[in-house]
Structure 1
Amino acid sequence: MPTALITGATAGIGAAYTRRLAGDGFSLVLVARDHDRLAADAETLHRRYGVAVEALPADLSTEAGLAAVEDRLGAGVDLLVNNAGFGQPGEFLKVPVEAELTMLKVHCEAVLRLTYAALPAMTAKGRGGIVNVASVAAFFSRGTYSASKAWVVNFSGAVAAEVAGSGVRVMALCPGLVRTEFHQRAGMDVSGIPGFLWLSADDVVGASMRDLALGKVVSVPSLRYKAIVGIGRLLPRNQVARISGRVNRRFR
């Protein structure tokens, strides 16, 4: 039975991955900060799907948390989903630099280190997959968040190229707006965003699994966001930055 490790596993896209992968017959290793919620979710998934579920409480913004997950990955998994992440509610200069550094540790350092920890066992077996959850924001401009997600896309592409032919696939998932706890936790007012722009977490995960099976390096779920990203890539970067800035101020 294959094993998948998912970070940020108790909510949103991470929780959707746990349901999908348990339904596909994967044993699960769930990583999140909330010990009680993690334990409850592990028990629920085990009862519902009959698969083995391991709860691994870890805060990926800390050295101890990262080291614990690295150790578990060293034992080998078949699929790693680097999903843990968060947003900031304010403009760059209004967010404490400590909070921005924490974001970089979770979005960039954790993705790098956990990918590095998972790959040796995967390449030795000649199979495996890594999904690094980025965002459509990676192709636009929204302070440190979009910059960190752009790093995830670039990093994933570089690693995918290095392991090509090994049987291991690495992909960046770039969803648009998804109905999760993400925006509420970040204190963002999204009440003015049109309904047609919202995606479901289950649909995003389904699209990502199809794209991973097809060997795609970047997955952008839904035609509407593929179009948005395509248009963004055609526009001059300074114009994209101005548009992004206006949108960010409107929906902050």
Structure 2
Amino acid sequence: MRILLAEDDLRLGELIAHMLEKKGCHTVEWVTDGLSALDFALATTYDLLILDWMMPGKDGTDICIELRKKSYMGAILILTARDALVDRIEGLDAGADDYLVKPFEIGELLARVRALTRRNFAPIQEEEHEIAGMVLNRTNKTVSAGGKDDTLTVQLTPREFQLLNLLLQNSGITLTREVILDRIWGFDADVGPKTIDATVKLLRKKLSSFGNEELIQSIRGVGYKIEG
């Protein structure tokens, strides 16, 4: 099972990620701020999100609200030191499926993870997306094309994958550089338009392996788009 963990306490985050992988045999991606958590959740398919309530950039409850507004249907578990009834209600009303108060025993966390994964949550998005004769695999972060015996597969970096997936999710819509920067790097990141352009250039080079270097269109002075 694939889990996204968002926890800014480095010691606790390392412990949780280690125990989920060792005891639960899960694959865990760990981020330490809310903006990254939101970007990862929107760009990648996870079976469960584990979000700390208080984080730099964006709180866990704010992430829940934003994801649910975007029709996100995956399981979400909130971690927090707030144990008042009103706080629990707020967390659940924000869109969380469960709520665990710190400090907690790892055994209880694993039990809640098992309980959530037994529930039938609709998938966030299909694992694969076909376009222009290629297949984007959201699980492996690869692009491939060809027949059974002659398939060509290209591995994408996390940023390249997030960019391509973001453009595909918004096919036919021009995304400004500001929107791309916010959704993938975050406005607080120390990068600018040149970084976006460089990532597009590298992604186009990989897509050229399939003859689709022109798939990502440049909209002069604005940004980029992919036609559906």
- TM normalised by structure 1 equals 0.36
Q: Rg: which structure is higher? A: 2
- Choose between structure 1 and 2: higher strand proportion: 2
